[in-house]
């Protein structure tokens, strides 16, 4: 999967998560709590780590094919 496509998919998930969180909040408070921001950030870090592992494995496989 190309990196740009993966980034677009992740942005879609984040936008959906933010929308769902905002729907649960009272209408007079549109901000996110610190805990919600932390959970979203940890989720994004986990997704980024998975992408790095996948890309590293793919590159390593290609390098092994060359030699």
| Dihedral sign computed on CA atoms, order 11, 13, 17, 20 | positive
- Locate 25 and state its tokens: 């909040």
Q: Rounded to whole angstroms, how far apart are CA atoms 53 and 67?
A: 21
Q: What is the pLDDT of residues 5-64, one digit of tens each?
A: 888 888 888 888 888 887 877 666 567 788 888 999 999 999 999 999 999 999 998 888
What is the structure's pLDDT at 28? 63
What is the structure's pLDDT at 47? 92
Q: Which of 38, 44, 59 is nearest to 7 (CA)?
A: 44
Cβ proximity of 22 and 30 under 8 Å: yes
């Amino acid at each position: 999967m190309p990196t740009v496509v993966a980034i677009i998919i992740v942005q879609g998930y984040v936008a959906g998560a933010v929308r769902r969180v905002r729907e649960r909040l009272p209408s007079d408070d549109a901000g996110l709590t610190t805990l919600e921001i932390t959970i979203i950030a940890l989720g994004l870090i986990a997704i980024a780590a998975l992408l790095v592992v996948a890309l590293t494995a793919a590159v390593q496989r290609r390098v092994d094919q060359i030699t």
